[in-house]
Amino acid sequence: MCRLAAYLGGAETTLSSLVLEPEHSLLVQSYAPREMMSGVVNADGFGVGWYAPWSGEEPAVYRSGTPLWADRSFAGMAGKIRSSVVFAAVRSATPGLPAEESGVPPFASGRFTFMHNGAIEGFRHGPMRTLRDSLGDESYAGLLGVTDSETVFAVALDRLGEGAGLGEALEETVRRVSKACADLGRRATLNLALTDGRGMAFVRHATEGPGNSLYLLEDGDRYPGGVIVASERLDGDAGWREVPDRHMLTVDGEHGAAMRPLS
């Protein structure tokens, strides 16, 4: 499992304001998470993706296979980098999958950035082949590692390449992955996050039982005018709301956040 956090706002915020500074930041969640469904710590790497419009539409991504608390270089630069769209995650590797940098979220391709909090049961013994065999040539060629998360992103990239919007791509990805897992009798937890640097989309879903936790904060005290989505509440702000299970959440700068049940 992983813990994730994302920010979209009219004003830029520093990477440290999302990852390091809150009382229950991703740094704290790397060693003391409160709502993990499996695992104890998130020590198998971390990553941050952010957008700098002056340099083009593709994101900058910093990923490391070391625990967040051990990376002094990131701590030194995080307060000096600002962006209006930030994706960040700490990783607890799915059992049976390698703990290496290729499996650390967020994943990026072109202008898109993606995160997955969850796991596909027995991924390398059935679902991996089924899902990867279904990919288009370009998405397949972009795979670098063997994780379930990177494969799920490739499925979403196929939909995006066909012209789907962020929310549509995630919803279709959930359908395809869920069907592949159901056909093989495997459970999947699929909290998914996707951005193109302008809007964001999230899904909270599990094929069986409850999904992993997901929360939303709009116009919080620490982030005025911004929207935060996170696996766990980053602070004690009374404005945090839980995203219901099996729901889609979309965020854009013009209309704010909107939630609806998955169809």
Q: Active-site residue numbers?
A: 2
Residue 201 CA, chain-centre distance (Å), reads: 10
* φ/ψ bin of 56: left (φ > 0), alpha (ψ from -120 to 50), beta (otherwise): left
The CA-atom distances, in angstroms, between 114 and each of 71, 107, 123, 203 are: 22, 5, 19, 12
The dihedral built from the CA positions of residue 248, 112, 125 and 99, taken in this order, carries a sign that is: negative
Number of H helices, E strands in the chain: 7, 13
DSSP 159-215: HHHTT--HHHHHHHHHHHHHHHHHHHT--EEEEEEEE-SSEEEEEE-BSSSPPPP-E
CA Rg, the chain, in Å? 17
* Residue the block writes with tokens 């799915």: 94
Torsion region of 156: left, alpha or beta (phi above 0 gives left; psi -120 to 50 gives alpha): alpha
**Helix or strand holding residue 163 (H, E):** none
Give bridge partners of residue 7 from the DSSP assignment: 86, 228
